[in-house]
Amino acid sequence: MTARAMNYVRLILLLGVIATIVSAMTFDLSNIQWDIFTILVVLATGAQLFKAEGPAHQLYHPTLIFIFSGVILLQPLLFIALIVISHVAEWIKERLIKSDHLRAWYLQPFNIGMHILIGYAVRLIFASLVHQSANIASLHGMLAGGVAAAIYMVLNHVLVGAALVLARGVSWKDSGILDLQNLATDFVMLALGYVVAACLVVIPWVVIPALAPLYLIYQALSVPVLKHQASTDPKTGLWNAKYFMKLFESELLRASRYDRPLTMVLADLDFLRNINNAYGHLAGDIVLVGVAQILKKSVREYDVVARFGGEEFTILMPDTHPDHAYLRVESIRKDIEEASFDVPTSELPIKVTMSFGVSGRRDKEQSARDILHRADIAVYQAKIKGRNRCQIFSETDYILPEDDVRMGLFNLTSKPSERV
């Protein structure tokens, strides 16, 4: 947790406390909706005990449905109590089962404070649009509910996204917090929250069949993480070769359409086999993960880094000429050379080096396979020149057999020679 992130957490907690105090001062004892409050507390607490995990460790709870219903129907202090009760119940459960989830003291208070702030703001907006609870089930009420849901969705993702960016040092893009699919998922749950609120006002028992889609929603929440797992390398967390090639083809089409530069970098760890033989495959895995982290944090937000297989990694640099890419890759190479990796089978940290091959787009007729193969040849050239260096593919050093490219006579994952 960085200092900036902790200050952000403290700010959210402080604002949440202020909103709670203001709500207590305006609480109307003569208008307590105990029946609706009790129903929502039971439903929200039950929902909070079940979660689905998405990409970037993002958690989805169906609780959002009932919190939003409470924001619409209850006085501010009551929906704050709804938020606190359901989240405290989850915290107690995680402690009883000795889970690592919510281990840090500030995580659940931050979640509570965030929902209090968002709920308080959205409540004011909804109340200004719908003045009587009887109007909730009207067309006007539905439109107001849609506006409130959209605002809740945006604020929720912005506040959570800011926490991820400050605490983990990831970009907004890598956090996945603003992905359209994630936004749509929350909006659907918020819309269902409006349906629950309307049912509780008009025909309370209709809430039971209205909640039947919860099962399908819970199943659907697992889809993003399954898609993410299918496109990433489980060991390093980088994109896998199949997904990388898909992105590569797309970027190449764009570069060719607008005649923009595009550079492909192929990187190969030097002597990884020797590390595996001397210190064990666990040590090799630690090195792979550590190098992957260096590669990931050393590139721009829109560059694409992937593990291509074994000890090979790839970096796709859109709008970048090979000469400019070379300077950036040289900096990455030096960072890897200077890094050290602690492994349990060695008293001293392990040092590694990496060889890089750089190849750029030449013309509109060039294929992704062609560029990749040229980068592969450049890595080979770097290897035979002593390793731990960066090499731009040179036409004078190697003439690519174009007939082989057209006929697909080489394997993209094969190497020009046996590398170690």
Nearest to residue 112, comparing CAs of 196, 9, 3, 231? 9
CA distance 416 to 406: 18
Contact 44, 63 (CB under 8 A): yes
Q: Tally Cβ neighbours within 10 Å of residue 110.
A: 22
Segment (H or E) for 73: helix 63-73
**How many separate helices (H) and strands (E) can be counted in the chain?**
17, 7
CA distance 391 to 192: 56
Q: CA torsion 153→158→164→165, rounded to 10°?
A: 150
Residue 124, both tokens: 């004011």
CA distance 270 to 130: 66
> Which of the following is catalytic: 90, 251, 311, 312?
311
DSSP readout, 189-239?
HHHHHHHHHHHHHH-GGGHHHHTTTHHHHHHHTTHHHHHHHHHB-TTT-SB
* 311 is an active site residue: yes
Residues known to be catalytic: 311
